[in-house]
Amino acid sequence: MADSAPALPRTERSSDRQGASALSRARPARLSLRQRLKRDRVMLLLTLPGLLYFLVFHYAPLFGYLTAFKDYEVYLGFAQSAWVGLANFQAMFSDPAFWSAVANTLQITLTQLVFYFPVPIALALLLNSLVGDRVRRFVQSVVYLPHFIGWTIIVSVFQQLLGGTGVLTHVLQSLGLPGYDMTTDPGAFPWLLTLESVWKDAGWGTIIFLAALLSIDPQLYESAAIDGAGRWRRTWHVTLPGITPIIILLLVLNLGSILSTGFEQVLLQRDAVGPDAGEVLDTYVYYHGIKSGQWGPAAAVGLVKMLIGTALVLGANKVAHFFGQDGVYRGAAR
Amino acid sequence: MALPAETMSARRSGNARPAWVESPSRVGRAAKALLLVLITLAVIYPIVGVVGTSLSDQATISVNGGLVLIPTHPQLDAYREIFAGGVVSRALLVSLGITLCGTAASVLVTVGMAYGLSRPEVTGSRVILMVALLTMLFNPGIIANFLTVKSLGLYNSFAALVLPSLVSAFNLVVLRSFFMGLPGELLDSARVDGAGDFRILVRVVLPLSKAAIAVITLFYAVSYWNAFFNALLYLQDSAKNPLPMVLRSFVIGGQSLHEAAAGEIPAPQQAVQMAVLVVALVPILCVYPFLQRYFTKGVLTGAVKG
């Protein structure tokens, strides 16, 4: 799939032609291209609006990154702004705020990886161990719910829980202790984000592990039990090996997105903790580019982030294939 | 990517425990029950607290701090205030409009594209599918998207809240694999009867795909309802702000929402903030039971199995 990447930003017509020639090579075609287009015209017309969307809002914006090589001024417009070569990239690398954003991003994603990632696995094991159907379905319905609640709501709620006038401070004060405002403590920021992510997505994250747990052959458990393996040994020797592949796959894919924090989540809380702890790569681009009008340098950061991010995702997918996994995208493409 | 609840219940019908599974110890059982209760409470407590606080008077909020579970003197002042026609009422209308129009547009385009790509023999469909799928691998980023929206003349328009996130590649794949799983004989017999591709879509495919389309619709609706970043990025005029933007400036940012006329005693600030949260939460809580029913049926299973 990665191989076809360079061929992609084409117009709709040429991609059609390419697909047609690939098809005609595959099997001897009786119909000419024109005949086939006529035959498929309804299907292609139905596809067209969606294809236009992807081209206009996912591929065309890539040209916007030419801004990274310009001294872009809004009032001059794109064509009139001067080319500056790699100056924006030099500015980026010499900006301490950029490096601070890199450090914050890595600190946040790694904290999430270590402390969020295992939670859905544990929760899935717990849910899977429930024998009663009713209880399990009830708990599932409850823990999936927060996934559908938006970040603005969740951040507001956590402010009520952990903020300066929140529940935590109230409880501490009623115990005679000083209050604690977690939402403005820079040192606690990665932990706050991790807590919120656990609340929002740990339940939803169990779905993929539960599916993997279901695919384990029950006979394995039975024969392990007959051989005298107890509950914990069965978990260790049957359950965990059964879901190890999916754990590795998700772990690798998570490593691939290590430069991306939950953007909306961080953006909503950056001002409360201040940019020293709350600035990540995405918010850096937003505040420097859109807010302060430093388009060129911000676009340079965005471009570097996108390239490294894409390379990491592709690399992660390759590694996942290496472990014998299908990878997310290959699976979806079939 | 939901779990096939039917398979689950089939494997262990009812509450039957296979003979080889030892019955759990009393301690283990109690610990598990306690854990489950704690997890459930962790999800439900904040939601109940938000509703409770929105109904409370200032005295109750001061005594309880943060979240009030049981409002001792329930009052609707906060709701009266936000529905009096100010910022929140307007944002609510914007959010409803965006959610309805956006969802309709997204579902139409996604259904068309998923159906158009559901037959591999259609000329060019494999390449078009790749074009769509590759977008899952990279994200053009804020600057690039912003410049695109601006150069299309969509800046500060409601269309900017819909068009940049019109089709989700994930939803597209889910729906496409559902369409591909439909029995081919049905489509063939319709074709023999003289139906064209469009007629087959409307008369055969859509009626068979109600559940899958319902899931997609609900997913889109929830994401439009919750979306705030497009509004932040592409809107200049704060009068056009949808509800999540109001939450951002007035609840998270702490600006005062009070618009009460002079002489009136305003509702408590926290109660007003929580009332806005409730207004934002209620549609999700209403839609959720339907969503939940569909994804425990395993409608989405095909997407991730790969």
Say whether both A96 and A56 belong to one domain: no
3-state secondary structure A47-91: HHHHHHHHHHHHHHHHHHHHHHHEECCCCCHHHHCEECCCHHHHH
Are A323 and A180 in the same domain?
A: yes
A233: domain CATH number is 1.10.3720.10
B 125-144 → A contacts, CB under 8 A: 125-144
Give the Cα separation of B143 and B164 in Å (integer).
13
| Contact criterion met (CB < 8 Å) for A218 and B163 | no
Number of domains in chain A: 2
Q: Which pLDDT value is given to residue B257?
A: 63
Give B14's contacts in chain A (Cβ within 8 Å). Answer: 133
Looking at the fold, whether A54 and A94 belong to one and the same domain comes out as no
Range of lowest pLDDT (A139-143, B66-70, B155-159, B210-214): B66-70
Assigned domain for A132 exists: yes
Q: Which residue has the tokens 């059982």?
A: B29
**Of B7, B143, B173, Cβ closest to residue A299:** B143
Tens of pLDDT, residue by residue over A192-247, are 999 999 999 999 889 888 888 888 888 888 888 888 888 888 888 899 888 888 88
Q: Provide φ and ψ at A83, rounded to 5°.
A: -75, 135
Structure tokens at B153: 């003349």
CATH number of B85-306: 1.10.3720.10
Given an 8 Å threshold on Cβ–Cβ distance, is B11 in contact with A37?
A: no
Q: Which of B20, B277, B305 sits opposite A222 (nearest CB)?
A: B20
Could B117 and A47 be called an inter-chain contact, meaning their C-beta atoms sit closer than 8 Å?
yes
Residue A80 lies in a domain: no
Say yes or no: A62 and A108 in one domain: no
Long-range contacts of A29-36 (CB under 8 A, 24+ apart): A33/B123, A36/B123
User: Does residue A74 fall inside a structural domain?
Assistant: no
Residue A231: which of B22, B145, B164 has the nearest Cβ? B22
Give the pLDDT of residue B1: 40
Same domain, A113 and A9: no
Whether the per-residue pLDDT at A85 is higher than 70: the answer is yes
A194 and A275 together in one domain? yes
Query: Phi and psi dihedrals of B85, rounded to 5?
Result: 105, 20
Q: Tell me the per-residue pLDDT of A262-290, one tens digit each, with 9 for 90 and over.
A: 888 999 999 889 889 999 999 999 999 88
What is each CA distance from B277 to A73, A152, B298, in whole angstroms?
39, 9, 31
Q: Both A107 and A46 in a single domain?
A: no
Q: Give chain A positions within 8 Å (CB) of B66.
A: 160-161, 163, 165-170
Distance CA A154, CA B277 (A): 9
- pLDDT value at residue B81: 83
Interior angle at CA B284, CA B216 and CA B178, nearest 5: 15
The whole-number pLDDT of residue A11 equals: 37
Query: Looking at beta carbons, which residues of chain B come within 8 Å of A63?
Result: 144
Instruction: Determine, for residues A126 and B36 on separate chains, whether the beta-carbon distance falls below 8 Å.
Output: yes
> Residues of B numbered 81-120 whose beta carbons fall under 8 angstroms of chain A's beta carbons: which are they?
108-110, 112-113, 115-117, 119
User: A184 and chain B: CB distance < 8 Å anywhere?
Assistant: no
Looking at residue A248, its pLDDT comes to 83
Q: How does pLDDT run across B241-281, given as a tens digit for each residue? A: 999 998 888 888 777 665 544 445 667 788 888 999 999 99
A103 and A228 part of one domain:
yes
Contacts of A179 (CB under 8 A, 6+ apart): A164, A168, A169, A170, A172, A173
Give the residue numbers spanning the domain of A212: 90-333
Give domain status of residue A76, yes or no: no
- The answer to whether A184 touches A277, Cβ cutoff 8 Å, is no
Domain membership of residue A83 (yes or no) is: no
Q: Which residues 176-195 of B have a C-beta within 8 angstroms of A?
A: none
Residues of A in contact with B303 (CB under 8 A): 332
Please, where in chain B does CATH 1.10.3720.10 lie?
85-306
Q: Containing H/E element for A241?
A: helix A240-256
**A133 and A61 share one domain:** no
Q: What is the pLDDT of residues B53-67, one digit of tens each?
A: 989 888 888 877 778
pLDDT at A170 over 50: yes
- Provide mean pLDDT across the span A64-73: 84
Neighbours of B107 (CB within 10 A): 20
Residue of B nearest to A127 (CA): B36
* CB contacts, 8 Å: A50 with chain B: 109-110, 112-113, 116, 132, 166-167, 172
CB A246 within 8 A of CB A209: yes
Q: Would residue A52 count as lying in a domain?
A: yes
Burial annotation A184-208 (CB, 10 A radius, 16+ → b, else e): beeebbbebbbbbbbbbbbbbbbbb
